[in-house]
Amino acid sequence: MRARAKLAVVHTAPPTLAARIAARAYHPVYRPGEVNRCPGCGHGHWWVGRSTAECAFCAAIVPIASDGEPLPMQDARA
Ligand SMILES: [Zn+2]
């Protein structure tokens, strides 16, 4: 009797966006409407742009968290 090779095919789904975000290291963001402290110097004054905010003291730049909401200066109809 002839031996048959056994082959197992395992399909794994790619990691979800939530899993990829959870796997990242510390990721500071600017949250509109909240008190935001600079991750570089701790001050709370910002120049807020369309997609990033810049610390007025040390010029650290962080992205603005949107959670699907329109960002400042972004057209809500788009
Ligand atoms: Zn700063």
Ligand 1 mean position, distance from CA 30 (Å): 12
Locate 72 and state its tokens: 């400042």
**pLDDT of the residue at 10:** 81
What is the b/e burial string over 3-40, where b = at least 16 CB atoms within 10 angstroms of the residue's CB? eeeeeeeeeeeeeeeeeeeeeeeeeeebeeeeebebee
- For residue 66, the CA-to-ligand 1 centroid distance in Å is 21
Q: Tokens 């730049």 — which residue? A: 61
Dist. CA 56 → ligand 1 center (Å): 7
Give residue 14's pLDDT band: very low, low, confident or very high (50, 70, 90).
confident
- Give 60 Cα–ligand 1 centroid separation in angstroms: 5
pTM of the model: 0.59
List beta partners, residue 61.
54
Q: How far is the CA of 44 from the centre of ligand 1 (A)?
A: 8
In the chain, the percentage of residues whose pLDDT exceeds 70 is 83
